[in-house]
Every structure is written in structure tokens, then in C-alpha cells.
């Protein structure tokens, strides 16, 4: 099963492994007088798992929102797949291959697991309105193709038993997994995960960590994630960027970051 | 005893005694039911995709009908006036999205509701400025809608069906069918439903908020035009038409705000029931004119037993 996914073109975004996929350059974002992000730069390389960490209110989620177009930064530029931009709308970001999950789970609660993941494929449906309305011919074949892909993802995430359950009824940990499935269905070249393990128990965290690693290794998907669980972050990620009060205070491998005095101060506090 | 007889026995005896008249009453009810259903559909579509209760649906009916008649008065042939009116409704949808909805994204529902009241007031003023405030006659014949009538003699009685009513019912049926296919089968239709479920999630799978909003307001505009033509053909085109929109409120309560099926079934049910009630109970027992309040009372009674309406979504919340 995994072979079929591997052969798919979703890692093929014209960027060589190891090269810069996303480059965030001097981004500043403020809401009225409140500066959420000031002058932050970092990059994400193709094929890596990049963690963004920091205390509450450090601007991590704002950063993700800037990358996928929910927020428009006042200053700075973003380079994605070699194209530079200041701002774009969320649906354009999706079109370019950026998928994401949310801190507080944004799913179509009334729909089943299957339909939710299928919704992730909607961007790729190409047949025209006429065929769609007839529900026949090319449109039907296309639907079947997408359906197969979705079933692969359901297999991969081991959520077969809940494929027909309305997601509003699922426990939180499974909802998070469905949300990951929907993001995967978009075959993104950059996957943004906002606290994928928040509110999970140990077992669920281990499962989720395994899925994140598998996605990264099997599909070659580049991942940027926000996470509070330091154990998870240090195990999973290749490089870590640390934010505090909207500023970048450290950037490097987990070991470098762990020993950085600024990071220790930010997390433990310093006497003033 | 006599009262109970009048309420529970006599009306049904009357129905059985004159089945042709009964059928006539049901038919009349059905025709107004189709109109209620159409208006309710306009509400449902916009509510489903944006959780906005669109107060302006009624005035959109008037505005569409006025534009059609107005264009014809200016010398545009009737069959050309229809696509032109649709064009105007499309421009209206684009303008509403740009000027009203986009700046109010993420505001509380009540703010958007207020904004639709604003749209109502604007359209009243704008419509009067351009087309004048006097009553107009719908260009029924010019549009090729037959105006004769069929007469039947079921059970040796007499049943009259006006051709324009029949056209309205068939036309509305086709419109609804296409709309249902569109909503359930097409990518855009799915996007509309997804957007109603969760804005954030919809945005993150690549659905464009502004495109979908323009689309639903345009569809609401198409429905408004259809409603305007049908209602205008029966009662003339004037700003008083706006009040028929309030007839859609009990339909929405009955059918549920999110349900297309609910709007159709609710509309037809209220149309038929209020006519039957008026003829067999209202006029003999209550002095008539029950049609003004029957629908509301009926909807209230249904709500007592099903707070989400007959077809509304039961909100699933895990606690």
C-alpha cells in the first residue's frame, strides 16, 4: 500500500531534498498596537521536520498563520518553492501546496471521517460542472480515483474503524488524527502542524509521533510543527527555532537549542 | 358538543362531500407553498454557507422583479431582460461581498444580520430611485408564460387550474432539482456545505471564502428573480411584496434553517395547511383571515416537540 503512495507526485515540487523550501525573511506582524511577531527570519529545508517552540504567547501560531495566509504580515517577505510573496489568501496557499492542522481542531463536525478527508481532495477535482452534475463519466472516475487515495490515507493512519462515524462524536485524539488525514489528502509539499499532540495521553502522543515521522520518511513531506512537549520536539525534529515575545531567540539542532542560555532563561525565567 | 362537532367532524364531512372543491383548495395551497419554499430556499442557502440570517431576501425578490419589469419598460425585449436582470443580480452579489461581507468577516452573527437590514434599506431606496415607487404589472405574457386555464371535472365537480400557476410549480420544481444536484454533486456545492460547517477548516482545504459568498448570494438572487416573476404574476410588482419574505419565517422554523429539504417540505406543508385551515376551520369558526397567523402558530407547536425544526441539524457536541 505504501508503495503506491510513495510513487505519487506529492513530494515532487521541484525542490531538491535539503534545499530551502520555505524562507521567512524579516517578518513583522502586529494587531493594532500589539506586536505579535517582530522581525523574524528562518528557513525550512525540503524533507526536514522543523519545530517552532516557545512559551505561551510567543507568536508561534501567528507565524503559522502568516505562512498559510490567514494573516498578512506588515513587513517582510516569504519565499516558498522559489517564489517570493508578501501576502496571499489561504486558498492560494493551499493551491501552492501548504496544508495545515489547527491547535483546536477545525473539522467538519457533522461529516464522517471519510467525508472530512475527502474534503481535502476537493482542491484537486478538475472535472467541469456539467459532468459533476450528471454524476457520470469522467467525474465519476475522478471521484473513484480520489476515493482510493483517501482510503490509503485512512489505512495509513489506522482509522478504518471510524471511517463512517461523524467526527463530532470522536474522542479528541482521534479528531486530531482525522485532521492530519485531511491535511495529508492535499498531498502537501509543506505540512504545518499546530500542536499535534496537545491534550493527548502518552499512548496517543506516541502514536501521533510515529505518524509524523512516517509521513516525513515515507512521503518525503516537509513538516513544520509547533509543540509544547519538549520530549517530543527533541525526538522528532531535525532543527528547532525558538520564539519568545515575538522575537527569535535561538535556531539550531535540538542539542544546540537545549543548551542555549537564552532558551533556558525564556522557559525557566530569570531574576530581574 | 356542537363545538366539538364543528371542529372535529363537520370540516371532514365538508371535504368528503365536495372533493372537487377540496382539490381546488389543496392546489391553491400548493401554489403558495411553492412560493414560500422558494423564498425559504434563498434564506437556507445563505444561512448554510455563512450562518447569516439574510433579512434582505424579501427585498431581493422585489428588486429582481422591479429590475426585470423596469428593463422591459425601457424597451428591452422580455427575453433579453431576463439574462440582463440575472447580470444585475450577479453584480449585486459581488457588491454585497466586497462592500458589506468582506469587511465584516469574523464579526458576530448579529452584526452581519444588522448588515443585511442595511442592505434591505439600501435596496428599497435604490430601487425606488431608479424604477419609481408605483406598482407595476409583471410582464407575464411577454415572457411566454401561458395565461389560460385548464378545467377538469373530477367526481362530476369542477376544478380550475391556471396555466401560469402550473408553469410556476413546474418551473420551481426544475429550479430546485438543478439546485439540489449542484449542491450535492458539484465541487462548488460541497464547498458551500463545508463552509457552513466550519469556516477555518474550509479555508484550510483551499476553499475561497469570497468566491463562495458571491456564488451563494448570486444563487439567492436567481431564486429571488424566480420568486419575483411568479409572485408578481399573481399580485403585481410593488414594494409590498417584501412582506412575503416574512411568510418564510415559519417555514424556516418548521423546516430547520440549514435544510434544503426542510425549506421545500416546510413551504409546501404550510401553504397547503394554511389554506385548508382557513377554508374549513377559519372561515366558519373564527371569522376568517387566519392565513396571517396560522403558519406561525403551527411552527411554534412543531418547535415545542422538535426544537431544531423538522429537518434541522441536531447539534452534536462532545462534552
Residues in chain B, overall count: 319
Nearest CB neighbour to B203, from listed A91, A168, A186: A91
CA distance A103 to chain B (A): 12
Look at the block and give the residue holding cell 426544537: B307
| Closest chain A CA to residue B187 | A122
The fold for domain A2-268 equals Rossmann fold (3.40.50)
Spatial neighbors of A37 by CB under 8 A, at least 6 apart, are A27, A28, A29, A30, A59, A62, A63, A66, A73, A243, A246
pLDDT, average across residues B121-132:
90
| Closest chain B CA to residue A88 | B208
Query: DSSP assignment of B15-74, as one string?
Result: HHH-HHHHHHHHHHHHHHHHHHHHHHHHHHHHHHHH----TTHHHHHHHHHHHHHHHHHT
What whole-number distance in Å separates Cα of residue A37 and Cα of residue A30? 7
Domain ranges of chain A: 2-268
What whole-number distance in Å separates Cα of residue B190 and Cα of residue B193? 5
What pLDDT does residue A123 have?
66
CA distance B187 to chain A (A): 7
CA distance B174 to chain A (A): 14
| Closest chain A CA to residue B205 | A120
Q: In Å, how far are A143, B35, B135, B219 from B69, measured between CA atoms?
A: 44, 19, 11, 20
The CATH code of the domain that includes B91 is 1.10.3470
A158: left (phi over 0), alpha (psi -120 to 50) or beta: left
What pLDDT does residue A269 have?
74
What pLDDT does residue A92 have?
84
Q: Cβ A109–B194 below 8 Å, yes or no?
A: no
What pLDDT does residue A13 have?
65
Residues of A in contact with B206 (CB under 8 A): 90-91, 94-95, 122-123, 186
A92: cell is 492560494
In tens, the pLDDT along B239-274 reads 877 777 778 888 888 888 888 888 899 999 999 999
What DSSP state is assigned to residue B99? Answer: I
Residue from B294, B290, B292 nearest B243 by CA: B292
What pLDDT does residue A8 have?
43
Residue from A173, A270, A95, A51 nearest B318 by CA: A173
What pLDDT does residue A9 have?
44
Residues of A in contact with B308 (CB under 8 A): none
Instruction: Choose, out of A116, A122, A175, the residue to mutate when testing the contact with B (most B CBs < 10 Å).
Output: A122
Assigned domain for B1 exists: no
What pLDDT does residue B189 have?
79
What pLDDT does residue A154 have?
92
Residues in chain A, overall count: 272
Residues of A in contact with B191 (CB under 8 A): 122
What pLDDT does residue B140 have?
78
* pLDDT-above-70 percentage for chain B: 97
Does B152 score more than 50 pLDDT?
Answer: yes
| Closest chain B CA to residue A89 | B208
Residue from B179, B157, B137, B174 nearest B27 by CA: B157
Is the pTM higher than 0.95? The answer reads no
In tens, the pLDDT along B304-316 reads 888 877 776 666 6
What is the ipTM metric for this complex? Answer: 0.73
Assigned domain for B129 exists: yes
A171-210 residues touching B, CB cutoff 8 A: 171, 182-183, 186
Residue from B30, B75, B70, B69 nearest B229 by CA: B69
Residue from A213, A148, A184 nearest A10 by CA: A184
Domain that holds residue B167: 34-305
Calculated CA dihedral for residues A188, A193, A199, A202, nearest 10 degrees: 80
A218: cell is 515515507
Spatial neighbors of A165 by CB under 8 A, at least 6 apart, are A112, A113
Residues of B in contact with A90 (CB under 8 A): 203-204, 206
Q: Are B313 and A110 in contact (CB under 8 A)?
A: yes
What pLDDT does residue B203 have?
84
Q: Are A127 and A149 in contact (CB under 8 A)?
A: no
Does B196 score more than 90 pLDDT?
Answer: no
Q: Cβ B204–A108 below 8 Å, yes or no?
A: no
What whole-number distance in Å separates Cα of residue A188 and Cα of residue A183? 7
Size of interface A-B (CB pairs under 8 A): 80
User: Residue A34, SS3?
Assistant: strand
Instruction: Choose, out of B201, B207, B315, the residue to mutate when testing the contact with A (most A CBs < 10 Å).
Output: B201
What pLDDT does residue A3 have?
41
Q: Are A52 and A40 in contact (CB under 8 A)?
A: no
What DSSP state is assigned to residue B247? Answer: H
User: Residue A44, SS3?
Assistant: strand
Residue spans of chain A under pLDDT 50: 1-9
What pLDDT does residue A135 have?
59
Q: Please report which confidence band the pLDDT of residue B115 belongs to, taking 50, 70 and 90 as the band edges.
A: very high
Amino acid at each position: 500500500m505504501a508503495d503506491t503512495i510513495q510513487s505519487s507526485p506529492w513530494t515532487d515540487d521541484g525542490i531538491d531534498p535539503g534545499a530551502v523550501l520555505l524562507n521567512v525573511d524579516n517578518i513583522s506582524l502586529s494587531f493594532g498596537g500589539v506586536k505579535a511577531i517582530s522581525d523574524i527570519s528562518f528557513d525550512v529545508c525540503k524533507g526536514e521536520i522543523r519545530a517552532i517552540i516557545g512559551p505561551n504567547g510567543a507568536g508561534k501560531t501567528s507565524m503559522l498563520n502568516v505562512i498559510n495566509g490567514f494573516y498578512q504580515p506588515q513587513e517582510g517577505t516569504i519565499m516558498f518553492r522559489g517564489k517570493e510573496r508578501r501576502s496571499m489568501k489561504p486558498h492560494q496557499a493551499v493551491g501552492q501546496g501548504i496544508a495545515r492542522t489547527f491547535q483546536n481542531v477545525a473539522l467538519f463536525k457533522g461529516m464522517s471521517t471519510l467525508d472530512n478527508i475527502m474534503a481535502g481532495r476537493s482542491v484537486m477535482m478538475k472535472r467541469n460542472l456539467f459532468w459533476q452534475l450528471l454524476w457520470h463519466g469522467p467525474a465519476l472516475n475522478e471521484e473513484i480515483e480520489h476515493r482510493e487515495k483517501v482510503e490509503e490515507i485512512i489505512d495509513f493512519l489506522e482509522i478504518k474503524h471510524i471511517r463512517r462515524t461523524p467526527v463530532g462524536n470522536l474522542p479528541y485524539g482521534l479528531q486530531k488524527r482525522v485532521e492530519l488525514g485531511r491535511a495529508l489528502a492535499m498531498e502537501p509539499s509543506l505540512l504545518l502542524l499546530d500542536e499535534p499532540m496537545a491534550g493527548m495521553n502518552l499512548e496517543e502522543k506516541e502514536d501521533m509521533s510515529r505518524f509524523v515521522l512516517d509521513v516525513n520518511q515515507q512521503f518525503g513531506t516537509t513538516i513544520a510543527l509547533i509543540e509544547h512537549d519538549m520530549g517530543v520536539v527533541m525526538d522528532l525534529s531535525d532543527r528547532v527555532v525558538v520564539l519568545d515575545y515575538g522575537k527569535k531567540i535561538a535556531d539550531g539542532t535540538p542539542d544546540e537549542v537545549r543548551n542555549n542560555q537564552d532558551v533556558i532563561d525564556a522557559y525557566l525565567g530569570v531574576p530581574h | 358538543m356542537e363545538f366539538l362537532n364543528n371542529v372535529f367532524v363537520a370540516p371532514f364531512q365538508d371535504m368528503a362531500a365536495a372533493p372537487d372543491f377540496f382539490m381546488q383548495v389543496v392546489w391553491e395551497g400548493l401554489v403558495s407553498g411553492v412560493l414560500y419554499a422558494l423564498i425559504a430556499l434563498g434564506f437556507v442557502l445563505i444561512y448554510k454557507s455563512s450562518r447569516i440570517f439574510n433579512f434582505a431576501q424579501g427585498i431581493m425578490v422585489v428588486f429582481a422583479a422591479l429590475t426585470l419589469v423596469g428593463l422591459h419598460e425601457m424597451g428591452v425585449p422580455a427575453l433579453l431582460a431576463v439574462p440582463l436582470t440575472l447580470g444585475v443580480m450577479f453584480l449585486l452579489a459581488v457588491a454585497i461581498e466586497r462592500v458589506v461581507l468582506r469587511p465584516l468577516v469574523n464579526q458576530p452573527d448579529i452584526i452581519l444580520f444588522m448588515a443585511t437590514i442595511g442592505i434591505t434599506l439600501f435596496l428599497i431606496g435604490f430601487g425606488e430611485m431608479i424604477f419609481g415607487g408605483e406598482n407595476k404589472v409583471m410582464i407575464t405574457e411577454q415572457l411566454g408564460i401561458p395565461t389560460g386555464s385548464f378545467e377538469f371535472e373530477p367526481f362530476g365537480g369542477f376544478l380550475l387550474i391556471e396555466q401560469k400557476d402550473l408553469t410556476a410549480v413546474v418551473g420551481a420544481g426544475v429550479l430546485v432539482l438543478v439546485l439540489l444536484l449542484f449542491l450535492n454533486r458539484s465541487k462548488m456545492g460541497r464547498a458551500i456545505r463545508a463552509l457552513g460547517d466550519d469556516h477555518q477548516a474550509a479555508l484550510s482545504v483551499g476553499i475561497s471564502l469570497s468566491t463562495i459568498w458571491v456564488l451563494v448570494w448570486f444563487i439567492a438572487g436567481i431564486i429571488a428573480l424566480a420568486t419575483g416573476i411568479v409572485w408578481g404574476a399573481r399580485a403585481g410588482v410593488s414594494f409590498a411584496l417584501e412582506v412575503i419574505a416574512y411568510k418564510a419565517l415559519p417555514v424556516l422554523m418548521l423546516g430547520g434553517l440549514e435544510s434544503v429539504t426542510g425549506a421545500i417540505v416546510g413551504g409546501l406543508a404550510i401553504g397547503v395547511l394554511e389554506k385548508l385551515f382557513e377554508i374549513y376551520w377559519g372561515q366558519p369558526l373564527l371569522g376568517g383571515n387566519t392565513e396571517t397567523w396560522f403558519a406561525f402558530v403551527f411552527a411554534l407547536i412543531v418547535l415545542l416537540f422538535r426544537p431544531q425544526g423538522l429537518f434541522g441539524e441536531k447539534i452534536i457536541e462532545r462534552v
